[in-house]
Amino acid sequence: MVAIMKLYFIIMIIVMLVYMVRHIIFTYNRLYSQQRLSYRDIYDSDLPKITVLLPMHNEGRVITMLFDALLRCDYDWDKLEIIAIDDHSVDATGQIIDQYSSKYPIIRTLHRTDPDQRRGKPVALNEGMVMSTGEIMIVFDADYRPSKNLLKKLATAFNDPQVGAVMGRVIPLNASKNTLTNLLNLERTGGYQVDQQARYNMRLLPQYGGTVGAFRKSLILHGGGFDEHILAEDTELTYRFALDGWHIVYDNSAECYEEAPESWDARGKQVRRWSRGHNEVMFRYLGKTLTVNRLSFFQRIDAVLLLLVYIVPFLLGLAFLDCIALFFLGEMDILTGWWIVLFVGAFNAWGNFAPFYEIAAGALLDGMKDELLVLPAMCFSFYFYMWHISLGFFDAVVDTITQRHVEWVKTDRFFESDPDETENPM
Amino acid sequence: MVPDNKSRIFYPRDYRHLNKPKPRSLLFLGIFVLPTLCLFLFFYPTITISLSSWGAAILRATTKTVVSIESVRFIPGLGEASFISIEGTTPSFTHSLVNAIISVFFILLSTQINRNNRPLMIYLSMGLFVHLVSSLFFLVIPDLFPYTIQDYSRLYILQQIGTWMTITVISGLATNLVLPTGGYKYAAFIVTVLFSFIFGCVRYVIYLYLLYRFTVLYMAALYFIFGVLYDFLGMIAIYAIFVRGASYRMSSNAGKGEWQW
What per-residue confidence (pLDDT) applies to A419?
45
Q: A344 and B248: CB-CB below 8 Å?
A: no
Catalogue the E-assigned strands of A173-289: 213-216, 247-258
Residues B151 and B223 in one domain: yes
Q: What pLDDT score does A420 carry?
A: 47
Q: What angle do CA A206, A135, A169 make, to 5 degrees?
A: 30
pLDDT confidence band for A6 (50 / 70 / 90): confident
**A316 and A279, same structural domain?**
no
List the end-to-end C-alpha distance of chain B, in Å, as a whole number. Answer: 33
Residue A418: per-residue pLDDT: 52
Assigned domain for A273 exists: yes
In angstroms, rounded to a whole number, what is the distance separating the alpha carbons of residues B207 and B149? 10
pLDDT for B26 equals: 79
Whether B174 is covered by a domain: the verdict is yes
Whether A31 sits inside 8 A of B118 (CB atoms) is no
**Portion 58-117 of B in contact with A at CB < 8 A:** 74, 115-117
CA distance B71 to chain A (A): 14
Nearest beta carbon to residue A252 from set B14, B145, B250: B14
Domain that holds residue A384: 2-31+304-398
Per DSSP bridges, beta strands A50-56 and A136-139 are parallel
Q: Are residues B82 and B105 in the same domain?
A: no
Task: Calculate what percentage of chain A has a pLDDT beyond 90.
Answer: 56
Separation CA A46–CA B121 (nearest Å)? 55
Task: Pick the more confident residue, A409 or A20.
Answer: A20
Nearest by CB to A364, which of B130, B137, B246? B246
Q: Do residues A69 and A102 both lie within one domain?
A: yes
How many Cα atoms are found within 13 Å in the side-chain-facing hemisphere of A83? 25
Taking CB atoms and an 8 Å cutoff, what residues of chain B touch A344?
A: 166, 170, 232
**Domain extent for B130:** 91-144
Within 13 Å and on the Cβ side, how many CA atoms surround A314?
19
- Report the alpha-carbon distance of residue B170 to residue A348 in Å, rounded: 8
* Residues near A361 by beta carbon (within 8 Å), at least 6 away in sequence: A27, A30, A31, A190, A193, A194, B177, B178
- Beta-bridge partners for A112: A87
Q: What is the largest CA-CA distance in chain B?
A: 93
What pLDDT does residue A280 have?
Answer: 93
H/E stretch holding B98: helix B93-110
Q: Which residue has the higher pLDDT, B181 or A265?
A: A265
pLDDT, averaged across chain A: 87
**Which of B126, B144, B162 is the endpoint of a domain?**
B144
Residue pair B245/B187 in contact (Cβ under 8 Å)? The answer is: no
pLDDT surpasses 60 at A196: yes
CB contact under 8 A, B119 and A28: no
B170 near A CB under 8 A: yes
Q: What is the pLDDT of residues A404-424, one digit of tens each?
A: 777 666 666 666 655 444 444
Beta bridge partner(s), residue B73: B80
Looking at the structure of chain B, the number of domains it has is 2
Largest separation between any pair of C-alpha atoms in chain A: 74
Query: Is the residue at B256 inside a domain?
Result: no
User: Residue A367 and residue B247: Cβ atoms within 8 Å?
Assistant: yes
Question: With an 8 Å Cβ cutoff, are A379 and B137 in contact?
Answer: no
Instruction: Identify the pLDDT of residue A167.
Output: 96
> Is there a single domain that holds both residue A196 and residue A57?
yes
pLDDT at A426: 35
Paired strand residues for A170 = A256
pLDDT of residue A331: 79
Is A31 in Cβ contact with B18 (below 8 Å)?
Answer: yes
Residue A300: pLDDT band with limits 50, 70, 90? very high
Picking from A10-14, A166-170, A274-278, B57-61, which range would have the lowest pLDDT averaged per residue? A10-14
Q: d(Cα B194, Cα A73) in Å, to the nearest integer?
A: 53
A110-168 tens-digit pLDDT:
999 888 888 888 899 999 999 999 999 999 999 899 999 999 999 999 999 999 999 99
Residues B149, B171: one domain?
yes
Q: Are residues A241 and A185 in the same domain?
A: yes
Question: Which chain A residue is nearest to residue B157, measuring alpha carbons?
Answer: A337
| pLDDT at residue number A414 | 67
Among candidates A252, A375, A377 on the partner chain, residue whose Cβ is nearest the Cβ of B15: A252
Whether residue A324 and residue B220 make contact (CB cut-off 8 A), yes or no, is yes
φ/ψ of residue A171, rounded to 5:
-130, 125
Mean local confidence (pLDDT), B70-75: 88
A375 interface with B at CB cutoff 8 Å = yes
Contact, B158 vs A418, CB < 8 A?
no
> Which residue type sits at A270?
Q
Q: For A210, what's the count of Cα atoms within 13 Å in the CB-facing half-sphere? A: 17
- How close does chain B come to A292, measured CA to CA in Å? 32
Judging contacts by C-beta atoms under 8 Å, the chain B residues touching residue A348 are: 170
Q: Residue A301: which pLDDT band, with cuts at 50, 70 and 90?
A: very high
CB B216 within 8 A of CB B88: yes
Residue A161: the pLDDT is 93
Question: Is A407 contained in some domain?
Answer: no
Task: Please tell me whether residues B131 and B181 are part of one structural domain.
Answer: no
Identify the closest residue of chain A to B243 by CA–CA distance: A360
Q: What does the pLDDT read at residue A103?
A: 95
- The pLDDT tens digits for A336-368 are 555 555 565 565 544 556 888 999 999 999 989
- Helix H or strand E encompassing A375: none
**Pair (A105, A172) in one structural domain:** yes
Beta strand pairing call for A247-258 and A144-146: antiparallel
- Kindly report the nearest CA distance between residue A21 and chain B, in angstroms: 11
Domain of A70, CATH number, reads 3.90.550.10
Q: What is the average per-residue pLDDT within A287-316?
A: 92
The burial of B118, by beta-carbon neighbours within 10 Å (0-12 exposed, 13-18 middle, 19 or more buried), is given as buried
Say if CB A236 and CB A64 are below 8 A apart.
no
Is B8 domain-assigned?
Answer: no
Nearest residue of B to residue A371, measured between CA atoms: B244
Residues B160 and B241 both lie in one domain: yes
Question: Is A334 a domain residue?
Answer: yes
Instruction: Please give the tally of structural domains in chain A.
Output: 2
Looking at the structure, tell me whether residues A232 and A329 fall in a common domain. Answer: no
Give the residue from chain B lying closest to A250, CA to CA.
B14
> In this complex, is the C-beta atom of B162 within 8 Å of any C-beta atom belonging to chain A?
yes
